[in-house]
A and B are shown apart, each in its own frame.
Chain A
Amino acid sequence: MDYILIAVIVLGAIGLIAAIVLFAASKKFAVYEDPRIAQVGELLPGANCGGCGYPGCSGMADALVKGADAGSLDGLMCPVGGAETMGKVADLLGMAIANTEPMVAVVRCNGTCEHRAKIAEYSGLRTCAAMHACGAGETLCGYGCLGCGDCVAACLFGAISINSETGIPEVDDDKCTSCGACVKACPRGIIELRKKGPKNRRVFVSCVNKDKGPAAMKACAVSCIGCGKCEKECPFGAITVENNVAYIDHQKCRLCRKCVAVCPKKAIVAVNFPAPKPSTTNEEKEATA
């Protein structure tokens, strides 16, 4: 009988001492974690894409809470969740958030098989990075799209795909979360995040070729030759020509499309605008009405 009693007492005593030690330790070494971090984390999409620049959504949640404590959420933006998610986060943290406009990845090359003659065949590893390291690629353009789809592989949202007819990647505006993974993946820096625009309407220079006019012209039928006509035409000062290539500042552009009309090489592209109406007669108008 004694044995049982001793065992119970000894074990009970050990348990009691351990409990006291653990209790003391938990008080002494307690780490306070802001409960808001978990709450913010739940609001974020959980894609862990890193598009915000932080390691995953938990890192972003941490940064958001710290930002809120410091008094500003500037520079913090979840590209996947967009304005909606950021609005919810701001409400939770009791902060106002600057209205960031939705962005979308834009492929600035129109060097399709038709526009850009193939002068060689590449038989190495089919990634853009490998082909880029090898030389200009299969065409004379050392700046344009290589068409091996490094951007497609980088996109976690299935928003980008190579058009088999043109050989150029296309972005699905609805699926694109503007996380910027494709921008980083493209060895030639063709893809850029630009303002999504009203009704997805955008105007941009679809060429990044820095060669001088004659060389650029030889390389591709729709290359920007840096002639500067668009720069002169633009009423808003949104266009600059640098290194023989024009660039439209999407913050300044008002989508008037005057540049599109003057570009002699058709290098400036306007997307999602309604097709220009042919000058219709009144009768036809009535008929369609």
Chain B
Amino acid sequence: MKIKTFSMGGIHPNENKLTHEVPTIVAELPKQAIFPLSQHIGAPAKPVVQKGDKVKVGTMIAEAGGFVSAPIFSSVSGTVFKIDTAIDATGYRKPVIIINVEGDEWEESIDRSNKLEVVETHPDLTPEEIVNRIKNAGVVGMGGACFPTFIKLTPPPTAKAECVIINAVECEPYITADYRLMMERSDEILVGLELLMIGAKVTKGYIGIETNKPAAIELLTEKCAKKFNGTKYQVEVVPLKQRYPQGGEKQLVDAVIQRQVPAPPAIPVNVGAIVQNVGTAFAVYEAVMKNKPLFERYTTVTGKKLANPGNFQVRMGTPMIDLINACGGMPEGDNKLLAGGPMMGKALTSVEVPICKGTNSVTIISDEEARRKEPQPCIRCAKCVGVCPMGLEPYLLAKLSEVKNWERAESEDITSCIECGSCHYTCPAHRPLLDNIRQGKATVMGIIRARAAK
């Protein structure tokens, strides 16, 4: 059988999955936890605590600031030190809540036992109840985009969901957090998938995994068969050929069910698919079954020069430097620090940036590897066109952005760009294609928004 993958473009960068077989360890509690109020797409959360307030693990410290927003919960117990600004993953100073950690006292409502809860023993779980609990627990997409999960489960009336696709692709080099989660928490993930299917009122589910994780494919196939055979649910583990950016929503939908999501503003649910990250499925399980809001996640801390790269189960708000120190400290010399992987990660200028809901990895790249090569003139080789997973013409979009021809950029579908960086990666002339396109995309989106507002 031919192994499935998406139909257009894609690259295969070196995997560098250094921490594949490193079991997850529970990270130590930080001394001070920092909670940015913008950890998700949408309106920033509004603080509901004040300086000096005592909080427990799981106490809500900020409520959702609008419909597209999510509440934020404390991951530590202690005293609110101050509500101030600190550098977050955007690179800018943003409003944050800082909590001084004292002990580790949890809210009584959270079920801390390891017992696996299954849906059958909870007959009160209606789809609405599940969506509501997900919303109240502040669960957002854990793959990095951080879109509030409950909104994805309630599609607009014009679209009808037909299946839930679990994104367990992890196509980004270096990162192994999702893989470790699958190996260590597979039962919980499957319950999470079941909850997502109930919430979305569908009976079909897929789990897309790249073939570089055979153990996970085997394990989940076996567990799926055991759990879902003979029930009304049809769940299939889909092995996928390794290709970046397969973890992109649109690419995954294409790879798994061979449907193409139209250009924005269309979203995967317009072709019947709801895509959720495997980490999100786990968070949904904990939120619904254990009453545990989202304040903890799996994160990979990796880099070739790190002494002991590893996978951590970490409380959000922990500064990155704590995890880096747990891996043997920042390597000597100049390094590039990324929140996320090397392809789509965000370069940071501070090691004090806290782990947030979307931080799936902390990647440290050495100076030599990170340094860009001098750009050369475009030789019109069209390699970028060949690798673009969205079927765009990156060299043209980059040029149009450079000369500020926004009308043409818009008509060439610059807003379809998913900023995966494949063009940039493949360019033999080392041209800063994505830098230019990103500028153009932001400007064109602004123009479109201004037009819509009129």
Kindly state whether residue B439 has any CB partner on chain A within 8 Å. yes
**Given A123-B372, A136-B92, residue A215 in contact with residue B85 (CB < 8 A):** yes
Kindly state whether residue A43 has any CB partner on chain B within 8 Å. no
B90 touches A135 (CB 8 A): yes
Kindly state whether residue A94 has any CB partner on chain B within 8 Å. no
Complex CA distance for A125 and B440, rounded to whole angstroms: 13
Kindly state whether residue B212 has any CB partner on chain A within 8 Å. no
A135 touches B435 (CB 8 A): no
Kindly state whether residue A124 has any CB partner on chain B within 8 Å. yes
A120 touches B349 (CB 8 A): yes
Residues of B259-317 whose CB lies within 8 A of A: none
Contacting A136 at CB < 8 Å: which of B91, B432, B438?
Answer: B91
Complex CA distance for A142 and B350, rounded to whole angstroms: 13
Kindly state whether residue B49 has any CB partner on chain A within 8 Å. no
Complex CA distance for A119 and B87, rounded to whole angstroms: 13
B334 touches A121 (CB 8 A): yes
Kindly state whether residue B371 has any CB partner on chain A within 8 Å. yes
A159 → B minimal CB distance (Å): 21
B85 touches A134 (CB 8 A): no
Give the interface centre of B347, B348, B370 by most chain A CB atoms within 10 Å: B347
Kindly state whether residue B145 has any CB partner on chain A within 8 Å. no
Complex CA distance for A120 and B370, rounded to whole angstroms: 13
Complex CA distance for A255 and B137, rounded to whole angstroms: 57
Complex CA distance for A180 and B91, rounded to whole angstroms: 28
B84 touches A212 (CB 8 A): yes
Kindly state whether residue B93 has any CB partner on chain A within 8 Å. yes
B91 touches A124 (CB 8 A): no
Kindly state whether residue B41 has any CB partner on chain A within 8 Å. no
Q: How many A-B residue pairs have CB under 8 A?
A: 47
**Given A136-B91, A215-B93, residue A119 in contact with residue B438 (CB < 8 A):** no
Contacting B432 at CB < 8 Å: which of A125, A135, A140?
Answer: A125
Complex CA distance for A105 and B85, rounded to whole angstroms: 31
Residues of A94-111 whose CB lies within 8 A of B: none
A142 touches B439 (CB 8 A): no
Contacting B85 at CB < 8 Å: which of A133, A135, A212?
Answer: A212
Complex CA distance for A119 and B348, rounded to whole angstroms: 11
Kindly state whether residue A48 has any CB partner on chain B within 8 Å. no
Contacting A127 at CB < 8 Å: which of B87, B349, B439, B442?
Answer: B439
B435 touches A125 (CB 8 A): yes
Q: Which residues of B contact A121 (CB under 8 A)?
A: 334
A138 → B minimal CB distance (Å): 8
B92 touches A133 (CB 8 A): no
State the majority secondary structure of interface residues on B. mixed
Q: Which residues of B contact A120 (CB under 8 A)?
A: 349
A142 touches B435 (CB 8 A): no
B438 touches A135 (CB 8 A): no
Q: Which residues of A contact B93 (CB under 8 A)?
A: 136, 142, 211, 215
Kindly state whether residue B366 has any CB partner on chain A within 8 Å. no
In the complex, residue of chain A having the shortest beta-carbon distance to the beta carbon of B442: A133
1/0 per position for B91-104, CB-CB distance to A under 8 A?
A: 11100000000000
A130 touches B435 (CB 8 A): yes
A125 touches B436 (CB 8 A): yes
Q: Which residues of A contact B346 (CB under 8 A)?
A: 135
Kindly state whether residue A129 has any CB partner on chain B within 8 Å. yes
Residues of B73-132 whose CB lies within 8 A of A: 84-85, 87, 90-93
1/0 per position for B343-356, CB-CB distance to A under 8 A?
A: 00011110000000
Residues of B405-454 whose CB lies within 8 A of A: 432, 435-436, 438-439, 442
Complex CA distance for A130 and B438, rounded to whole angstroms: 8
B54 → A minimal CB distance (Å): 25
Complex CA distance for A21 and B424, rounded to whole angstroms: 62
B93 → A minimal CB distance (Å): 6
Complex CA distance for A130 and B87, rounded to whole angstroms: 19
Q: Which residues of A contact B334 (CB under 8 A)?
A: 121
Complex CA distance for A124 and B91, rounded to whole angstroms: 15
Complex CA distance for A121 and B367, rounded to whole angstroms: 10
A124 touches B92 (CB 8 A): no
A123 → B minimal CB distance (Å): 5
**Given A136-B91, A142-B93, A211-B93, residue A119 in contact with residue B349 (CB < 8 A):** yes
A142 touches B92 (CB 8 A): yes
Complex CA distance for A142 and B372, rounded to whole angstroms: 24
Complex CA distance for A208 and B249, rounded to whole angstroms: 40
Give the interface centre of B85, B91, B346, B372 by most chain A CB atoms within 10 Å: B91
A133 touches B371 (CB 8 A): no
Complex CA distance for A123 and B334, rounded to whole angstroms: 13
Complex CA distance for A120 and B347, rounded to whole angstroms: 10
**Given A121-B334, A125-B432, A212-B84, residue A133 in contact with residue B349 (CB < 8 A):** no
Q: Which 5 pairs, one residue from A and one from B, show the smallest C-beta to C-beta distance?
A: A135-B91, A125-B435, A120-B349, A125-B432, A142-B92
Sample (8) of A-B pairs whose CB atoms are under 8 Å apart: A124-B432, A127-B439, A130-B436, A134-B347, A135-B347, A135-B348, A142-B92, A142-B93
Supply 10 further A-B pairs (C-beta < 8 A) apart from A123-B370, A130-B435, A130-B439.
A120-B349, A123-B372, A125-B439, A134-B91, A135-B90, A138-B349, A142-B92, A142-B93, A212-B84, A215-B93
